[in-house]
Structure 1
């Protein structure tokens, strides 16, 4: 055993059908049905408008080092999202356009990085989803150590290999596969209810009585 410098080759991936079912569900609706505590911190932002969806393939990297990130690129399968715990370091980029294009060619679904990238402008023209903490032109080292396919911390969330990752313009939510079907059904129902609310707004029939009822129940004093 060599803790801190090891690679686990095998992970359990949920079915492609289950993952794909989250394709059009807003992250906000998913998060609302997970206690509102399962999203990565807002400092991790998208660098284009390509939606993120796939299976977590995790990397735990030392500060400013991407040796294990490169190994993950060679190991990850189509549909995987490479999730990198870069210890929130802002001093070095962990990847750039070359790694992004290589990942695209392999069918990797995207990157979720608690750290920096570079070549950010290139992402405007790439159909490849990248979420990261920031941008820095300084490149990384390749010394190791690090680990692949272990639990990692990304944006304040524990991410396990095989978790379902969903990201849109609002941010990223992490879903455990064992919970996914139940969450999916609830999030779909919420999304449908929101569509009805939009219709009521347009028709002028939206009932807002819940606001005053809630204030009254909580003992709010309203003064003329």
Structure 2
């Protein structure tokens, strides 16, 4: 869990750079509130469009502090979750929910102040037939996610860190963050250094 705590302090942009931009979820998957962030291990669920019964199974089986990642195939006509189901995830200790699809009861979800990332909102509920799979490999936002991968989300979007590479990616992410902070401190607010930086970039 210690490595997950460290990822909580790293912006998705630095993680994305460490991953060479290869593990970003589709940019239409955004937080319902921009000031909320999430980092945790993935519990995955794959759904058929307009069928969300297995979301409940995944919430029940997830470990506390996991992030529920829902592969709803980008379907936007019916919601994968509403505020009550999101409330169940929060009650059982999950750290957040990421959905390749839609939610409903959006204002209720925002009022919860709980990290939810999705493609948008709709009015229609889903049926409960139970088609799909819990904790298998999924594609969410056109990105492969395995159970146990680390999910990092903030206002810029969501990135997945493969479990087998997490130590290396954390190290590279922290290095990138440190370099960015040093560059900003040296250049921003200093017209001479800003102009020099621009000219150096244009000469490459």
Q: TM-score, normalised by structure 2?
A: 0.93
Q: Please identify which structure carries the higher helix content.
A: 2
Runs of 4+ in 1 over 3 A off after TM superposition: none
Gapped runs of 5+ residues in structure 2? none
Q: 1:198 aligns with which of 175, 184, 189?
A: 184
The 5 A counterparts of 1:14-33 are 16-33=1-18
Gapped runs of 5+ residues in structure 1? 1-15, 215-224
Q: Which moved more, 1:176-185 or 1:150-159?
A: 176-185
The 5 A counterparts of 1:1-224 are 16-48=1-33, 49-200=35-186, 201-204=188-191, 205-206=193-194, 207-208=196-197, 209-214=199-204
1:8 matched residue in structure 2? none
In structure 2, what is the Cα distance between the partners aligned to 1:135 and 1:149? 25
Give SS of 1:31's match.
Answer: helix
Q: Mark the structure with the bigger radius of gyration.
A: 1
Q: CA RMSD of the aligned region, Å?
A: 1.2
Q: CA shift at 1:125, angstroms?
A: 2.1
Q: CA shift at 1:54, angstroms?
A: 0.7
After superposition, the C-alpha distances for 1:91-145 in whole angstroms (9 at most, x for unaligned) are: 1001111111111111101111111100111222213110111111100100121
Q: CA shift at 1:38, angstroms?
A: 0.8
